[in-house]
Amino acid sequence: MGGVLGLIQIDQSTVAIKETFGKFDAILQPGCHCLPWCLGQQIAGYLSLRVQQLDVRCETKTKDNVFVNVVASVQYRALADKASDAFYRLSNTREQIQSYVFDVIRASVPKMNLDDVFEQKNEIARAVEDELEKAMSAYGYEIVQTLIVDIEPDEHVKRAMNEINAAARMRLAATEKAEAEKILQIKRAEGEAESKYLAGVGIARQRQAIVDGLRDSVLAFSENVPGT
């Protein structure tokens, strides 16, 4: 019955593109609308206003000749007040966004070494977002957020990096162990030296006591035996 009367329902967070005899007429908001088909009115299509996400994987090469896969996550949505531009001016929104992401990443990453790419991924994401914002606003889209969610070097490079990190950790562990053994030996030597010193002091005092005793005996003997 609704089709006969020209009644249509538009869901929340969605707008409809109304045409009259094939020409754009209006943007219909969520709710119930009457479109008399006999007057040439029809719905050309629907446009979601929800935030959508597109993950783009781009392969490029760094300044130090390492191939990496950079994964960018772009969140975007159509603007209600520019819904006609978003509907008519782009035939494939996701493909257009992907092209801009490729362009910015392949222009930025080759200027950096691999370590710098990891350290400056926020700057790369900001450059991608700025370029997308300028380009897509003309087509009725807003870029909500852009993130670099992953940077994957070539498998051989990744294995080499893991080996370097493992070697560095082993070297650090060996250094710490050697330092601990050095400290232990120093403390042991200091203990032995202290022990020998105290033993020497004890022997010296013992000998001094013997000498003192002999002297006292000689003195006593000489006092008791005149002329000795």
Q: What is the pLDDT, as a whole number, of residue 47?
A: 92
- The pLDDT assigned to 64 comes to 86
DSSP 29: P
Q: What is the pLDDT along the chain (228 residues), one digit of tens a residue?
A: 445 567 888 999 999 999 998 899 899 999 998 888 888 888 999 999 999 999 999 999 888 888 889 999 999 999 988 999 999 988 888 999 999 999 999 999 999 988 898 899 999 999 999 999 999 998 999 999 999 999 888 777 667 666 666 666 677 777 878 888 888 888 888 888 787 777 777 787 877 778 777 777 777 667 766 665
| Chosen domain end from 153, 180, 204 | 153
Looking at residue 166, its pLDDT comes to 62
- Residue 223 belongs to a domain: no
Residues 128 and 204 reside in one and the same domain: no
Whether residues 162 and 141 fall in one domain: no
Host domain of residue 24: 7-48
- If one counts every other C-beta atom within 10 angstroms of the C-beta of residue 61, the result is 14
Looking at the structure, do residues 64 and 138 belong to the same domain, yes or no?
Answer: yes
195 residue type, one letter: S
Residues 59, 28, single domain; the answer is: no
Whether 47 contacts 78, CB under 8 Å:
yes
Assigned domain for 95 exists: yes
How many domains, in total, are found in the chain? Answer: 3
139 and 81 together in one domain: yes
* CA separation for the pair 72, 94 (Å, rounded): 13
What local confidence, expressed as pLDDT, does residue 148 receive?
Answer: 92
Predicted local confidence at residue 128, as pLDDT: 92
Evaluate whether residue 20 is within a structural domain.
Answer: yes
**Same domain flag for 13 and 32:** yes
Q: Looking at the domain assignment, is residue 205 inside a domain?
A: yes
pTM: 0.64
Nearest to 97 by CA among 126, 123, 71, 129: 129
Same domain flag for 209 and 164: yes
Nearest to 56 by CA among 166, 1, 132, 3: 132
CA 18 to CA 20: how far, in whole Å? 7
From 104, 131, 153, the end of a domain falls on: 153
Asked whether residue 226 is assigned to any structural domain, the reply reads no
Q: Give the Cβ contact number of residue 213 at 10 Å.
A: 10
Structure tokens at 107: 């222009």
Same domain, 117 and 69: yes
Do 57 and 135 share a domain, yes or no? yes
Supply the pLDDT for residue 168: 67
With respect to residue 77, please indicate whether it lies within any of the assigned structural domains. yes
* Phi, psi torsion values for 17, nearest 5 degrees: -95, 115
Listed residues 153, 176, 196: the one ending a domain: 153
Q: Is residue 160 part of a domain?
A: yes
pLDDT on residue 1: 42
Is 109 in contact with 171 (CB distance < 8 Å)?
no
Q: Is 13 left (phi over 0), alpha (psi -120 to 50) or beta?
A: left
Chain position carrying tokens 């350290």: 119
**Quick one: 65 and 37 in the same domain?**
no
CB 28 within 8 A of CB 15: yes
Domain membership of residue 170 (yes or no) is: yes
Domain match, 56 and 42 both: no
Amino acid at 89: R
Residue environment code for 84-95, b if the CB has 16+ CB neighbours within 10 A, otherwise e: bbbbeebeebee
**Would you call 59 helix, strand, or coil by DSSP?**
strand
pLDDT at 51: 94
pLDDT value, residue 70: 92
Q: For position 154, what pLDDT does the model report? A: 76
CA dist 61 and 19 (Å) reads 48
* Shared domain check, 64 and 114: yes
Burial class from Cβ neighbours inside 10 Å (0-12, 13-18, 19+) for residue 143 reads buried
41: β partners: 20
Please, is 137 exposed, middle or buried when counting C-beta atoms within 10 Å of its C-beta (0-12, 13-18, 19+)? middle
